[in-house]
A and B are shown apart, each in its own frame.
Chain A
Amino acid sequence: MPPMPPAEAREFVRRRRGRNIALLLALVALCLIFYGLSMVKLAAAH
């Protein structure tokens, strides 16, 4: 694969970083949702 021009490479890295951060935030949000749901269901069970 031929090397990318510097500007394109910078843009590629920037976009990849942005998507990684977005994915991380989504996963953290999912964890919080699962935690919250577990708490609600446990409270209801008692």
Chain B
Amino acid sequence: MNSIVSGPPEAEFFLPGTLGAEARDWLALLKPRVVSLVVFTGAAGLFIAPGHIHPFVAFIAILCIAVAAGAAGAINMWYDRDIDALMRRTSRRPIVTGRIEPADALGFGIVLSAVSVVLMWLATNAVAAAVLALSIAFYVFIYTMWLKRSTPQNIVIGGAAGAFPPIIGWAAVTGNIGVMPLVLFAIVFLWTPPHFWALSLYACKDYARAGVPMLPVTHGAAHTRRQIVLYTVLLSAATLLPVALRLTGPVYAVSAILLDAGFLVFAWRVLRDLQDVGGVSLTNDRPARQAFRYSLAYLAVLFLAVMIDHLVN
């Protein structure tokens, strides 16, 4: 999910070639691509919050969000090393290939988690630190250790883990949790299912091999396609909430409407993809791959619109 939750792992290894091989492995453990999206949503929450925060403190708060997300990713890789080895798209991860010892990865994750929470507390306030700790715990214990292997609703409920950063950013400035960050939480929460189900449609065999009960594995591709459309509609409604509540201005409203229209078109294409009787794609899941890529851009642009709108108004 990302979100704090795991993203497209094939991208995790495209790291700068100037870093040493071992340093690259440790960095890959932090799921940098997932972290980048988490940082962006967290920064948006911080940017639009009312009140003043010193730029250095803001930088430290965002750093803490990034480190915490990476740490949770490292613990996730430690726990999931058995199923990662069975899935093609995760089989090159550093623990699976033996480049990093599992215990080292776990220790790395725990130390970074603790450092990020304590540093957030010292730099900002207890509310931001508490929500940060909650997001790590939710991702590690609720999503990774419990939901992921037990229910096809894993990424629906687990999506909450990746939705915390806007709340954390907001709380870092204000010391409390307002309506706007809760709306942003809802947006990321509802964005996660169509995003990951698009991925799981074309990675279905991987998940089936590893025994992960993703929706296409348990309920079939046709059902998953309908759920993607349903959640995209719900997501579109949620993105219009800030407009209805007069929390944002015209820049955000126009951006959200255009982005939603695009996402609905991509979701519709996933539903109408050329498929066999079981709903399995006959086009190598081209629409699902496009929808997945669009969903990444969608969230980034939507949060950018939130920030620009705040700046303009």
Contacts and interface: CB of A to CB of B under 8 A. Distances in A.
A interacts with B? yes
Interface of A: 15, 18, 22, 30, 33-34, 36-37, 40, 44
Interface in B14-61: 20, 22-23, 26, 54, 56-57, 60
B123 interface: yes
Query: By DSSP majority rule, is chain A's interface helix, strand, loop, or mixed?
Result: helix
B20 A37 contact: no
Nearest to A15: B22
B119 A33 contact: yes
Contacts of B119: 33
Contact of A44 (B23, B54, B122, B123): B54
Contact of B56 (A18, A22, A30, A37): A37
B23 A37 contact: no
A36 B22 contact: no
Query: By DSSP majority rule, is chain B's interface helix, strand, loop, or mixed?
Result: helix
Contacts of B54: 40, 44
B20 A18 contact: yes
A8 to B, nearest CB: 14
B122 A37 contact: yes
A34 B123 CA distance: 9
Nearest to A19: B22
Nearest to A43: B54
Contacts of A36: 56, 60
Nearest to B119: A33
A22 B23 contact: yes
B22 A40 contact: no
21 contacts: A15-B22, A18-B20, A18-B22, A18-B23, A22-B23, A22-B26, A30-B115, A33-B60, A33-B119, A34-B122, A36-B56, A36-B60, A37-B56, A37-B57, A37-B60, A37-B122, A37-B123, A40-B54, A40-B56, A40-B57, A44-B54
Interface string B108-128: 000000010001001100000
Nearest to B55: A40
* A-B complex: 9 closest residue pairs judged by Cβ atoms: A40-B54, A36-B56, A40-B56, A37-B123, A40-B57, A18-B22, A33-B60, A37-B122, A15-B22
A12 to B, nearest CB: 12
Interface string B80-117: 00000000000000000000000000000000000100
Nearest to A39: B56
Contacts of B22: 15, 18
Given A22-B23, A37-B123, 6 more contacts: A18-B22, A22-B26, A33-B60, A36-B60, A37-B60, A40-B56
A34 B54 CA distance: 15
Contacts of B122: 34, 37
